[in-house]
Structure 1
Amino acid sequence: MKKILTTMLPSLLLALQLASAASASSTVQVQADSSSKQIVIEGTSDANQQVTVFVANPDGGIDYLDQIQADSTGHYQFSYKSRGGYGQYSVSVGGTGTNTPVKTNFLLSDATPTTPSTPTPNDDKPTSSFPPSNSDNVIITREKGSNGIEVAKVSVPAKALADGLSKAKELANGGQPIFKIEVKDAGSVKVELPAASIFDAGKTVPNGIISIQGKYAAYELPVSAIDVSKIAQSLGVGLKDMKLMVRIDPVSDAAITTIQGSASHNSTKLLTSPVEFSLIVEAGGKQQEITSFNSFVSRSLELPTAPNLSLTTGVWFDPDTGDAKFVPTELKTFDGKYQAIIKRKGNSAYGVIEYSKTFGDITGHWAQKDIELMASKLVLKGVTDETFAPENRVTRAEFATLLVRALGLADNPKAAAFSDVNGGDWYAGYIGAAVEAGLVSGFDNHTFHPNENITREQMATMVASAIRVAGVSVDVVGKQDTLLATFKDRGAISGWAASSIAQSVKAGVIQGMADREFMPSDTASRAQAAVMLKRMLQYVNFLNE
């Protein structure tokens, strides 16, 4: 069957005509790294002119499309990471002057592919650490927990936290400051942080991270992820009287039994012991657990062996059923050790599993590899256990559900305040979670139309929202018309969807159909949805390439 997520190379001319095109003296050259798929396109054109680049992948689809202004010497440079397959790519560059673009080609070869079981090396960022070896202010106590596991309790003084974050900012040299607290000789870790210092850090080091390193797990807490001032107001206490208790604990024996039973029933293999990450606010004898954040928070779990990238994923566990649910995960190596970097906006018990899933009706299908990948990650499910129905249309409720799973969000049926969504509907919790996260908004008459097939422009709008929720910005300011001019049916795209479609196209998540058309009102298949989800997760670094 012909793959339909394609736009043909001749459509480049429309985009280049909008920005105009290159002068006779224009040049272009490409540096392409086949292992990392990092592409650099640079050259010369007229000084200060707008330059548009279009890269077509080996299938003829859009691999990259962007526009910048050349500098005063006429030099321009584009840099991006290709998400296409191996083969020959076509590059066309145009600027102001004529309608004749400058063209070249480059090749991505699979002669030295990365082994599927080799995770990406983790960035070794400079950090400041606590406790310092000669500190007299370090307060560490040890006790036995109710399960017999030793608990190390670390109290971080306000000055130590402020100085540590300040030093981390200096070491980062414009990058992300990381203040590391290491306690690697105990099964459970409790770290007390002064709330007032975190509030101050939100002003002085707003992009700072407090990294708590335990024996087999770590917790990276952005100082901006918690509104400590708001919490203090809700508890009726002052910031100076409030402390944050960050905990990393093995889950209880009862929870392990439930999780293991669910894993056995669902044929999933646990690769790590589940770990509970929690954050509790304490003040004046009152406690409040923080279960959700305003941004994605990273945790890492150490893996015993090299993981299979296609079958391994981080998961969060349903506290009632023990069922594993997908959570955005990158698999990396650090100091020779394998790690799963888990990213989610909420606290829970987390672990890493291995799972393999396929369906009898996708053998030989153009999207088979992506369907199997997303099903093995627990994002996709079949219409039955044995069939996927790849060409069936996707409804609005189904696509909202897929995005909620892909972002690791928790159900919230109470937020699904639409007249055509009932609390008992299977999709109510997913739509509520999508509303709460800002993925969907419904129609003007307070309806959602959950069972209608989703259109391509509606899908693009949800995808663009998901990218934003993931904390990634896709800049299309001044480039929207160029991006959309790629499509012959540009005039059929609704005004409300234009920016989202431009963002989704630039991100490489959604491409055109055959014959240079976007077909905004057409519906999408389950196979197309699987491919879009994979591309979106990889674009925001929630899934390995």
Structure 2
Amino acid sequence: MTKNRMMTVVLASVLSLALVLFGCSPTDANTITIDQNFSDIHNEFWAKNEVTQLVDMGVINGYPDKQFRPALEVSRGQAANLLSSALQLPEAPYEPIFKDVSSKSSHLKGAMSTYKAGIFLGKEDGTFGVADSLTREQMATVIVRAFGLEDTGEDIHFNDENRISESHREGVKILAQHEITTGKEDGTFDPKTAVNRATYVVFLHRAMVKTGKIEESQEIVFNKPPTLGNYETIRHEQNFVEVPISSTKKTYLRSNYYLQFAGEKTRKHAHSTDTLYTYTVGG
């Protein structure tokens, strides 16, 4: 064996040993292997990288039961809190601007700081709408404002753009121009649907990467949890959707399948009136 070939073999052996010691293999140099933090964010979950990175940064948290609950809808108040944290906005003192934001509100910091920054402007009825679900078109507008995204001049069309509110069309277009959204597979944007936690984190993460606020992390791979005996994991994705019974109290349906509110109607009887809520079930 020549001297050069012997040196090559030694270097290859040292590299292989280092990869083994650090828990990597020659084919996964672009991945990070860590323990799984949430029972519902696993290796097959579509947004695991974005969720893991923003959780590590402290932008968003999971729940005490070790779930992230990615399908839970995001309220406007929660969205404001997350934006305030992601952008590290300065705290703004309480002002009696919104009817539904008191000096003791859990959404005080987010509502005040994003209002002062011109991101959330409140609603026409004088409320912030902290408990209202954030829709996809609203999300587009606030992300464009939050990250100062500008119109590139590119033509953008969605099959349902006539359903996008006039006040949000500019935001939706700009978000698509910057490839932070590509819409749905059927060519629609689906502007009125409420945003869930996973979707909001992904859009927020993309905007932070696009504007250079963070670098995109390496691919996350969760370690396989240790088991004893013949143990088979049965995983059900939990989907939540709100029943619009009251504006002050929240009522949710929970399912292992995708749910979407499809409308309501009233049926009158001789001695009572029923409200019927209809939901579509996917999967």
One fold, TM greater than 0.5?
yes
Does residue 428 (structure 1) correspond to residue 99 (structure 2)? The answer is no
Deviation of the 1:112 alpha carbon: 9.5
Residues 108-157 of structure 1: per-residue CA shift (max 9 Å, x gap):
xxx999857xxxxxxxxxxxxxxxxxxxxxxxxxxxxxxxxxxxxxxxxx
* Aligned counterpart in structure 1 of residue 205 of structure 2, from 534, 537, 541: 534
Q: Give the whole-Å Cα distance in 1 for the aligned partners of 2:95 and 2:45.
A: 37
Does residue 408 (structure 1) correspond to residue 88 (structure 2)? The answer is yes
Q: Give the whole-Å Cα distance in 2 for the aligned partners of 1:358 and 1:416.
A: 39
More helix by percentage: 2
Q: What secondary structure does 1:414 align onto?
A: coil
* Aligned counterpart in structure 2 of residue 507 of structure 1, from 167, 178, 184: 178
Deviation of the 1:476 alpha carbon: 3.6
Q: What secondary structure does 1:430 align onto?
A: helix
- Whichever residue aligns with residue 519 of structure 1, its letter is D
Deviation of the 1:445 alpha carbon: 2.4
Q: What secondary structure does 1:371 align onto?
A: helix
Q: What secondary structure does 1:474 align onto?
A: coil
Deviation of the 1:358 alpha carbon: 2.4
Residues 244-263 of structure 1: per-residue CA shift (max 9 Å, x gap):
xxxxxxxxxxxxxxxxxxxx
Does residue 447 (structure 1) correspond to residue 118 (structure 2)? The answer is no
* Aligned counterpart in structure 1 of residue 190 of structure 2, from 499, 516, 519: 519
TM-score under structure 1 normalisation?
0.33
TM-score under structure 2 normalisation?
0.62
Deviation of the 1:404 alpha carbon: 0.8
Deviation of the 1:383 alpha carbon: 3.0
Which residue is equivalent to 2:66? 386
* Aligned counterpart in structure 2 of residue 375 of structure 1, from 47, 55, 58: 55
Residues 499-539 of structure 1: per-residue CA shift (max 9 Å, x gap):
11111111122231231111111111101011111101001
Deviation of the 1:415 alpha carbon: 4.6
More strand by percentage: 1
Unaligned segments of structure 2, at least 5 residues: 1-25, 217-283
Residues paired across the two proteins, number: 190
Which residue is equivalent to 1:475? 151
Q: Is the 8 A contact 1:415 1:436 kept in 2?
A: no
Deviation of the 1:413 alpha carbon: 4.4
* Aligned counterpart in structure 2 of residue 361 of structure 1, from 40, 55, 61: 40
- Whichever residue aligns with residue 211 of structure 2, its letter is V
Q: Is the 8 A contact 1:416 1:435 kept in 2?
A: no
Does residue 465 (structure 1) correspond to residue 136 (structure 2)? The answer is no
Q: Give the whole-Å Cα distance in 2 for the aligned partners of 1:368 and 1:384.
A: 19
Aligned-pair identity (%):
27
Which residue is equivalent to 2:265? none
Which residue is equivalent to 2:162? 491
Residue 446 to residue 399, structure 1, CA distance change in 2 (3 Å): same
Q: Give the whole-Å Cα distance in 1 for the aligned partners of 2:96 and 2:120.
A: 10
The equivalences for 1:31-430 within 5 A come to 115=30, 358-363=37-42, 364-384=44-64, 386-415=66-95, 417-430=97-110
Rg larger for: 1
- Whichever residue aligns with residue 37 of structure 2, its letter is T
Q: Is the 8 A contact 1:413 1:430 kept in 2?
A: no
Q: What secondary structure does 1:405 align onto?
A: helix
Unaligned segments of structure 1, at least 5 residues: 1-110, 117-307, 312-355
Q: What secondary structure does 1:446 align onto?
A: coil
Residue 513 to residue 430, structure 1, CA distance change in 2 (3 Å): same
